[in-house]
Amino acid sequence: MKVLTVVGARPQFIKAAAVSRELRRNHDEVLIHTGQHYDEEMSDVFFEELGIPEPDDNLAVGSDSHGAQTAEMLAGLEERIEAEDPDAVLVYGDTNSTLAAAIAAAKMDTDIAHVEAGLRSYNRSMPEEINRVLTDHAADLLFAPSRRAVENLREESVPGAVHNTGDVMYDAVLWARDRAEDHSDILDELDLEPSEYVLATVHRAGNTDDPDKLAGLLDALADDPREVVLPAHPRTINRMQEYGIREDAEEKLTLIDPAGYLDFVRLQDCADVVATDSGGVQKEAFFLDTPCVTMREETEWRETVEAGWNTLVGADGEAIRRALATADAPAEKPRPYGDGDAAANVTRLLDDA
Ligand code: UD1
Ligand code: UDP
């Protein structure tokens, strides 16, 4: 079977690496990078670290408005799908790269397989929510990470075949956790003691694109008595710069470049608490037994909140301060996202299709 995989953004390299390792045992995989993320530390570092081959092609679309970026990807992917004639196009998550690949494949009547299907925030102002819903409705094979994701898809009566595979990111974390402990020097480099710092990330458009919101959120983080380490997404750095708050943030926080995956897993594993607006980071904190404070009003990963490991606080400064001060690891943890064998399940289901 020949599978054409499309990736473009940081979390997709990590998810695709987990599946690729399994898929390439018995199948041909052509890996196309859209070029949505392109900085060394947002892209290349993951291919070097995660043991996946270099992309077969990079469309190098770069950054642009949603429409222009998606359109350029769509045109490039159509050409590649035509040239490769794959049995299926495999897409991940909810970025513009995901949507472009789904539309390109749908228009060419090529089967679409969607990993991380069925997630919903029910917040239609998030670009990612639109990408997810449209991709799920175009997909032929929907690989859902949890029972709730399956239910969400059933409620929407999607036409494709829905399967609960578990979450590929759990596979990724299981692969990385011990390797990170053995190989990452990030704690020494930053002079950090385990359990004595907060790890934060902020990149969601809803938080970064409003100057008051971003400044308030960074102030709330900085008020925490522990050291706050913030590997900053380029979007966030650009906004800080634009709003004239970068220097202030650099003074109050340990602002560093985006970290490689092993360093970032190590930072999450050893943090006292994680504060984030990332989808993937909420889940990884959960897998790594680190309590999480989520700076969003809602989450697609509701199981982590229901289990008491994740607290939703939005961008309200007081709520962030309070949640950081009180976050604690519950005594128990359920396993709503499978057993860490999602990549094998995805590969088997692709075989059977
Ligand atoms: C995208 C995804 C988001 C995902 C995130 C993962 C969409 C709509 N959003 O958001 O769902 O959570 O990736 O990190 O697809 N930039 C650089 N260098 C890079 C990449 C980006 O400087 O390598 C800057 C550019 O100024 C760009 C901005 O970051 O305009 C935003 O990048 P973009 O890919 O459009 O969206 P993300 O915020 O990264
Ligand atoms: N990540 C990383 N380095 C960082 C920040 C995040 O390797 O500095 C990884 C993190 O471990 C997770 C993924 O990137 O696997 C999450 O991506 P991101 O937060 O950019 O996007 P989202 O998951 O919100 O779509």
* Residue-level pLDDT at 252: 97
Contact by Cβ (8 Å): 343, 19:
yes
CA of 203 to the centre of ligand 2 (A): 10
pTM across the whole model: 0.98
Phi and psi for 274 in degrees, rounded to 5?
Answer: -110, 140
CATH fold for the domain made of 179-326: Rossmann fold (3.40.50)
**pLDDT tens for each residue of 57-86:** 999 999 999 999 999 999 999 999 999 999
Mean pLDDT of the chain: 97
**pLDDT tens for each residue of 161-219:** 999 999 999 999 999 999 999 999 999 999 999 999 999 999 999 999 999 999 999 99
What residue spans define the domains of the chain? 2-167+338-352, 179-326
Pocket-testing residue among 10, 169, 230, ligand 2, by greatest number of atoms within 8 A of Cβ: 10
- Tokens for 176? 């990385």
Q: Which residues of 159-183 are buried (b: 16+ CB within 10 A; e: fewer)?
A: ebebbbbbbbbbbbbebbbeebeee
* Residue-level pLDDT at 3: 98
The Cα 95–Cα 304 span in angstroms is 22
Q: Which ligand is nearest to the CA of 116?
A: 2
> Which of 53, 51, 43 is closest to 8 using CA atoms?
43
Q: Are strands 57-58 and 111-115 parallel, antiparallel or unpaired?
A: unpaired
**pLDDT tens for each residue of 95-136:** 999 999 999 999 999 999 999 999 999 999 999 999 999 999
CA of 33 to the centre of ligand 2 (A): 17
Name the pLDDT band for 353 (thresholds 50, 70, 90): confident
- Tokens for 228? 């706050």
Q: Is the pLDDT of residue 53 over 90?
A: no
> Which of 36, 159, 161 is closest to 93 using CA atoms?
36
Helix or strand or coil: residue 72? helix
HSE (CB half, 13 Å, CA atoms) of 79?
10
The class of domain 2-167+338-352 in CATH terms is: alpha beta
**pLDDT tens for each residue of 147-165:** 999 999 999 999 999 999 9
Residue identified by tokens 């008595």 is: 225
Pocket-testing residue among 44, 119, 235, ligand 1, by greatest number of atoms within 8 A of Cβ: 235
Just list the catalytic residues: 203
Phi and psi for 90 in degrees, rounded to 5?
Answer: -105, 125
Name the pLDDT band for 142 (thresholds 50, 70, 90): very high
The Cα 87–Cα 154 span in angstroms is 25
H or E element that contains 90: strand 88-92
Sheet holding 88-92, edge to edge: 57-58, 28-33, 2-7, 88-92, 111-115, 141-144, 161-164
* Residue-level pLDDT at 93: 98
CB atoms within 10 A of CB 72: 20
Q: Tell me, yes or no, if the two domains 2-167+338-352 and 179-326 fold the same way.
A: yes
Ligand 2 lining (C-beta closer than 6 Å): 10-11, 14, 201, 203, 231, 258-259, 261, 264, 278-281, 284
Ligand 1 lining (C-beta closer than 6 Å): 9-11, 36-39, 42, 63, 94-96, 127-128, 203, 233-235, 238
Q: Is the pLDDT of residue 312 over 90?
A: yes
Q: Write the burial class of residue 124 (CB in 10 Å: 0-12 exposed, 13-18 middle, 19+ buried).
A: exposed
- N-to-C CA span, the chain: 10
* Residue-level pLDDT at 19: 97
* Residue-level pLDDT at 51: 83
Q: Is 115 left (phi over 0), alpha (psi -120 to 50) or beta?
A: beta
What value does the mean pLDDT take over residues 242-262? 98
* Residue-level pLDDT at 52: 83
- Tokens for 307? 């289990």
Contact by Cβ (8 Å): 282, 301:
yes
